[in-house]
Amino acid sequence: MSSTCCSSSTISAAESPVKRPQEIFWDDEVTLYSGSGPNSKRNSHSEGTDVKIVDPNFVPILLEKQLTKVEANTSNVVEDVFPDGGLQAWSVLLGGFLTTFCGFGMIAGYGAFNTYYHNNILSQYPISVTAWIGSVSSCITFAGAAIGGTVMDRLGPRKVMMTGTAIMTVGFLALSWCTELWHFFLCQSLFISSGIALMFVCPMTTANDWFKARRSMASGIVMSGASAGSIVWPLIIANVPRQVGWGWTVRIIALCQLFLLSLATILLRLRPRPDAKAVIPAVKKHTFYWRAFATHPVYLLTSLSSFCFSFGYFFFLYFCGTFAIQKGWVKEGPYVLIACNAASAIGRIGAGTLADRIGRYNVLFFATFGSSVVLFSWLGVNSLAGLFICGVVYGIMTGGQVALQSVCVVQATKDLEHLGVTGTLIGQQFGFQALAVLIGPPISGYILGTSGSAAEQMARFPYAIMLDGIVIMIGAGCAAWARLMQSRTLVAKI
């Protein structure tokens, strides 16, 4: 009876003793449907497929056939295993370290550029005006990271790194001939920052792709490159121009950037996945993935936490030197920033290693909360030793927060990993911080003011400190909320 039914091309609904449902099943070879009357609709999976009405009594047979196909297809799928080590994985971390050393390290070390501009090439402008070059640079870097992350998801890290390296190199060569304020805005704030923005997400995404169990540690190693860069580049700017002049100093930096970023381009790669077509389904590529902010509240809270943190993060980095000068520690003041950046490297690696053991969101909250507490403690600093201690602890705390931003994004959106939008999601989060980076330092600078005696300016410092400390504390609250949404057990590894 089964063969007779299956061999016939059509079976009238009236001949079937069982009332058929509206729709039963379809597969790649045949569409199964049933309906009564001449107006019944037929479902076809593809053109040229013969449509057959099959008695519902035989659906179990065809379901068994489909299950056999599924088992045959899934039996060949190889489990996706993260290396969490090995020569290739560690070489990717080296490439990521070099990228952040050249990119974000240059952004974080802008204070040295600002000092040189104010004392030499752009001495006719107040320091608050030249500081906007750095603020706009940071804003474009963070905002452009959203685009860079999407481009990396589509083209892979190497093409993006090559493009960013070329843009940065040309930008630095042009910077060496700048003489007017708008020249510096064009070359440094727009051109160089655009190159950094393109490459910004590449080291974080590739590190997350090679490490899982030790992902936080890997991110800390990568981001420690920014701390190293924020020490080396300012030292070059502060000393080399005396020997060879401004133009050749910047050209030397351009050559160093070209060499280091070319090496990073070779080292950075995504992990080859076994049977990638079976593991990762084909999806429509989106320019952005904004819906994640609505569908993943933990991702939204993580981004809000980073936004608040970025608002106040640069205050100490930009104004600790001014504080030291107003206190009379003119020679020792610049070394506070160097100590802070050196401690930041320790904090990034240490926080990453600790986060793999006790939970990423646990450490993220502690680092954000600690950063706020250190800023408030700055209110009581009255000695050079106290300022150094404050700078070192602040570097450790903020370093931990910066290191964990990208890995927390991956954890908050782990169900989207198979879509291949990791770079986009990380980039969106940094793009979300762009406004905070743009308005945070200028607002603090406006509170401090540019006029009045040293005593009057020092009297304004507590107001700026409290503003940034409160905003970062709000960020700590968002981090705590994101952590509790995943588990209300206080001792859980989250």
To the nearest 5 percent, what fractions of the chain are helix, strand and coil?
75, 0, 25
> Averaged in consecutive runs of 10 residues, what is the pLDDT profile of the chain (494 residues)?
44 44 41 43 43 49 51 51 89 97 91 84 84 89 91 91 96 95 95 95 92 92 94 90 95 97 96 56 60 93 97 90 85 85 94 95 97 96 94 96 94 88 91 90 82 79 96 98 94 91
pLDDT at 39: 45
SS3 state of residue 26: strand
d(CA 447, CA 469): 14
User: Which amino acid makes up residue 406?
Assistant: S
Residue linked to tokens 């600002």: 114
- Name 321's Cβ contacts closer than 8 Å, sequence gap at least 6: 111, 115, 333, 334, 336, 337
What is the value of pTM for the model shown? 0.78
Give the pLDDT score at 78.
52
How far the first Cα of the chain sits from its last, in Å, is 59
Q: Cα angle vertex 355, ends 350, 358, to 5°?
A: 125
Q: Are 5 and 58 in contact (CB under 8 A)?
A: yes
Helix or strand run (H / E) with residue 406: helix 384-412
Beta bridge partners of 53: 33
pLDDT at 289: 85
Do strands 31-33 and 51-53 pair parallel, antiparallel, or not at all (unpaired)? parallel
Q: CB neighbours of 245 closer than 8 A, spacing ≥ 6?
A: none
DSSP letters of 165-190? HHHHHHHHHHHTT--SHHHHIIIIII
Please, are residues 440 and 142 in contact by the beta-carbon 8 Å criterion? no
Which helix (H) or strand (E) is 295 found in, with range?
A: helix 291-295
pLDDT given for residue 119 in this prediction: 82
Half-sphere exposure in the Cβ direction for 363 (13 Å, CA): 30
- Distance CA(466)–CA(280), nearest Å, equals 48
Please say whether the dihedral angle defined by the alpha carbons of residues 102, 106, 109 and 112, taken in this order, is positive or negative. Answer: positive
Amino acid letter, residue 337: L
Number of Cβ within a 10 Å radius of residue 220:
30
State the Cα–Cα distance between residues 117 and 100, nearest whole angstrom: 24
* DSSP tag of 192: I
The pair of structure tokens assigned to 83 is: 């290396």
By the 8 A CB rule, do 342 and 468 touch? no
Phi, psi of 151 (to 5 degrees): -65, -40
Q: In this structure, are residues 222 and 405 in contact, taking their beta carbons and an 8 Å threshold?
A: no
Please give the Cα distance from 86 to 210 (Å, whole number): 10
Quick one: how many helices (H) and strands (E) in the chain?
Answer: 21, 3
